């Protein structure tokens, strides 16, 4: 008895819905009931990295070698990485390259070219130009070298390079130290990293040179931490032509 009643109710509801949809204009119907039309999308070529796709410029006198990854780490979950060795008149640098990055050393090209395995992967696209910039900095470092000039602005601010230090112990034999006088009552001495040279052409100028750009700029940043430029009198340690906008003095 109840089954027949349910059938009659369902039949009346479907008939009412059909009559209501026929009488209502189509633009008033819900979006889900409208007939969906197939939409086509245009496909374009994947965007290439302007920096990553540019060939590396290797000057004469610099050797660029790519060493295949060792077979020891094949059983581990982490994929082994190949190593790039760059030798030049100023030293030798090495750098590990991710497995998804391929280096084409075709002699017909103007220089080694970098490509990635999957051009749709966001991580690979982001690291494409970054790795190319790192390799180019290494090539420039072993051929010409990187430098940073620190300028000391302030009354009595100066720096000197010493062979010994009283507050810092040497990390390797023959290490030299930079002695800063930037307004502290205690001596400020910093050990020069290995492979980096420092000189003072003027008492208020400090020249840092080395083949690896990251080490040179990090050492310059460590020196700058002791007296950052302040915006009221313009005193501090400035790196590579750095400037600061001065503010008006606070008047109470």
Classify domain 146-239 at the CATH superfamily level.
Ribosomal protein L6 (3.90.930.12)
Question: According to the model, what pLDDT value does residue 147 have?
Answer: 96
Instruction: Give mean pLDDT, residues 19-33.
Output: 54
Least confident among 48-62, 127-141, 153-167? 48-62
Q: CB burial class (10 A; 0-12, 13-18, 19+) of residue 62?
A: middle
The answer on pLDDT for 153 being more than 60 is yes
Closest CA to 200 of 227, 176, 217: 176
Question: According to the model, what pLDDT value does residue 27 have?
Answer: 57
CB 122 within 8 A of CB 176: no
Question: According to the model, what pLDDT value does residue 195 have?
Answer: 92
pLDDT digits (tens, 9 = 90+) for 83-109: 999 999 999 999 999 989 999 888 888
- What are the residue ranges spanned by the domains of the chain? 63-70+79-144, 146-239
Question: According to the model, what pLDDT value does residue 4 have?
Answer: 64
Instruction: Categorize the per-residue pLDDT at 118 as very low, low, confident or very high, splitting at 50, 70 and 90.
Output: confident
Q: How far apart are the first and last CA of the chain?
A: 93
Question: According to the model, what pLDDT value does residue 22 have?
Answer: 52
Question: According to the model, what pLDDT value does residue 28 have?
Answer: 56
The answer on pLDDT for 154 being more than 90 is yes
Q: Is 159 helix (H, G, I), strand (E, B) or coil?
A: strand
Instruction: Categorize the per-residue pLDDT at 250 as very low, low, confident or very high, splitting at 50, 70 and 90.
Output: confident
Q: Fold identical between 63-70+79-144 and 146-239? A: yes
Q: What percent of the chain has pLDDT over 70?
A: 77
Q: Does residue 92 or residue 12 have the better pLDDT?
A: 92
Q: What is the DSSP letter of 75?
A: G
What is the Cα Rg of the chain in Å?
A: 33
Classify domain 63-70+79-144 at the CATH superfamily level.
Ribosomal protein L6 (3.90.930.12)
Q: CB burial class (10 A; 0-12, 13-18, 19+) of residue 65?
A: exposed
Q: What is the DSSP letter of 156?
A: T
Please enumerate in sequence order all residues whose Cβ is within 8 A of that of 143, keeping only pairs 6 or more positions apart, or say none: 59, 61, 62, 88, 89, 90
Q: Please state the separation of Cα 28 from the chain's center in Å.
A: 54
The CA distance from 125 to 98, in Å, is: 12
Residue 115 parent element (H or E): strand 113-116
């Amino acid at each position: 008895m109840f089954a027949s009643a349910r059938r009659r109710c369902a039949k009346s509801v479907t008939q009412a819905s059909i009559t209501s949809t026929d009488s209502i204009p189509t633009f008033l119907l819900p979006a889900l009931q409208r007939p969906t039309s197939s939409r086509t999308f245009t496909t374009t070529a994947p965007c290439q990295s302007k920096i990553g796709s540019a060939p590396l410029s290797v000057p004469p006198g610099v050797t660029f070698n790519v060493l295949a990854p060792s077979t020891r780490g094949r059983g581990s979950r982490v994929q082994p990485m190949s190593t790039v060795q760059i030798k030049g008149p100023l030293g030798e640098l090495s750098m590990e390259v991710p497995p998804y990055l391929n280096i084409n050393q075709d002699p017909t090209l103007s220089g080694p070219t970098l490509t990635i395995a999957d051009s749709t992967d966001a991580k690979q696209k982001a690291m494409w130009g970054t790795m190319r910039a790192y390799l180019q900095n290494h090539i420039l470092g072993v051929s010409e070298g990187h430098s940073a000039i620190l300028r000391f602005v302030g009354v009595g601010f100066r720096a000197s390079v010493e062979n010994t230090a009283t507050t810092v112990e040497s990390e390797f034999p023959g290490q030299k130290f930079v002695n800063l006088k930037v307004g502290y009552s205690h001596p400020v001495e910093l050990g020069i990293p290995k492979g980096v040279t420092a000189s003072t052409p003027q008492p208020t100028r400090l020249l840092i040179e080395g083949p690896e750009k990251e080490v040179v700029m990090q050492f310059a940043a460590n020196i700058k931490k002791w007296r950052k430029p302040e915006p009221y009198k313009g005193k501090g340690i400035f790196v590579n032509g750095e400037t600061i906008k001065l503010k008006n003095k606070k008047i109470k």
